Amino acid sequence: DSGVTQTPKHLITATGQRVTLRCSPRSGDLSVYWYQQSLDQGLQFLIQYYNGEERAKGNILERFSAQQFPDLHSELNLSSLELGDSALYFCASSVTGNTDTQYFGPGTRLTVL
């Protein structure tokens, strides 16, 4: 158990809908990262937050957004969902958000029908 928690574990929804994925980082970690893992793209970095502020964006679509709250938990919002958004979404956390170890949560499996 990495100490990073994610909810829900599974999510099934329809095209065009909007969902919110939640992540709680390890105790003491200030930085949260979101990654998408699909069969054809592997693990792709989406976005990073550090202590409530957005630090960097990766391959994140405009339909997706995220935020990190004062208690350091983070939410990833996915809207206007398409079939291709079906994937595993992982949250990771680290202490400083720099070159330190990122610990991953168990992931949320999103299925868009």
Partner 1 sequence: GESVGLHLPTLSVQEGDNSIINCAYSNSASDYFIWYKQESGKGPQFIIDIRSNMDKRQGQRVTVLLNKTVKHLSLQIAATQPGDSAVYFCAENLGLSGAGSYQLTFGKGTKLSVIP
3-state secondary structure string, 2-42?
A: CCCEEECCEEEECCCCCEEEEEECCCCCCEEEEEEEECCCE
Residue 1, token pair as written in the block:
């158990």
Q: How far is the CB of 16 from partner 1 (least distance, A)?
A: 25
Give the residue with the Cβ less far from partner 1, 57 or 63: 57
Residues that bind partner 1 (CB under 8 A): 2, 4, 33, 37, 39-43, 45, 48, 55-58, 88, 90, 92, 97-107
Give the residue with the Cβ less far from partner 1, 60 or 79: 60
Q: How far is the CB of 102 from partner 1 (least distance, A)?
A: 6
Q: Which helix (DSSP H) or strand (DSSP E) does residue 109 occupy? A: strand 108-112
Q: Which helix (DSSP H) or strand (DSSP E) does residue 87 occupy? A: strand 87-94
Give the residue with the Cβ less far from partner 1, 80 or 96: 96
Q: How far is the CB of 54 from partner 1 (least distance, A)?
A: 10
